[in-house]
């Protein structure tokens, strides 16, 4: 008798409270992964003086 993938996960446990919570956690993890991989990259630069920061910003926008 062949073993089917559907027989590995019983339907009653899939729609139990714990099964629904696991599915919600998986959906949340997938949504966060998709959001974080498509979000624009943000870089932080620390400077010791405001004048240096202004020079840096002028150089980046030219």
**Residue 62 confidence class, pLDDT cut points 50, 70, 90:** low
The pTM of this model reads: 0.49
CA distances from 15 to 18, 20, 39, 54 (A): 8, 6, 33, 58
Q: What's residue 13's pLDDT?
A: 74
Distance between CA atoms of residues 13 and 15, nearest Å: 5
Can you give the pLDDT at residue 7? 66
Q: Which residue has the higher pLDDT, 14 or 35?
A: 35
Question: Residue 4: what pLDDT?
Answer: 65
3-state secondary structure of 41: coil
């Amino acid at each position: 008798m062949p073993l089917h993938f559907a027989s590995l996960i019983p339907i009653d446990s899939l729609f139990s409270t714990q099964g629904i919570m696991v599915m919600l956690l998986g959906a949340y993890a997938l949504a966060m992964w998709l959001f974080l991989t498509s979000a624009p990259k943000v870089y932080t630069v620390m400077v010791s003086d405001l004048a240096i920061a202004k020079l840096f910003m002028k150089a980046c926008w030219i």
